[in-house]
Structure 1
């Protein structure tokens, strides 16, 4: 069985009172790297290995200019986001349970980046696909 992983930006938050108090730019605003609704698909096979390239060129859907989105053709995923999501992506690409016993579905996880003043919230899903070889032998 082949496994892909789909990552969707489901929300973005901003805490202006924390930015005012702690950030060098007190008006930093929302994360500029992602947009709500952005979707990314990770594959790992003989032709693609998106994981080892920081998710570069995994963007499959956005409402913005793809060149300006992390994970698009010009920019890998933000390091704070990548640190939060990469372990679940790797597990899913290997066919493992992403969060069995915590989430309703073991192939899903909801997590966010570690930017405390403007976190981005991601839904990560393992997608299972029958391989071509197993379909040929059935």
Structure 2
């Protein structure tokens, strides 16, 4: 059985909800809005969750889209939570749809994915060739 980690969460207001997972074994923990917002087409807003977190030592998190939001063309961006950050988690949401999108208090708005912090030694050196090399965007076909 994998080692269980403890994520400490502080509620910052009465609308805050603790992160949850819909199913055991899910990678992401749902984050909830603690604010009501209308996000107009092509607009981006920082939506407060009403929580702050303390990750275990050498852990942090990333905020990613929920598939149900992405299906409506509502996307997250800029979602890295460093280990030492203790402020409110806000989710930067962008509306790429053609209609206003309403966020209600208590709506699931994103996923928090905990990740380990790895200290990499960065060195300047030559790198090996690979099968892919510099083939980037679209290089693997449709």
**Does TM, scored on the shorter chain, surpass 0.5?**
no
Give 1 or 2: higher strand fraction. Answer: 2
What is the TM-score with the length of structure 1 in the denominator? 0.28
Q: Report which of the two has the higher share of helix.
A: 1
Between Structure 1 and Structure 2, whose CA radius of gyration is higher?
2
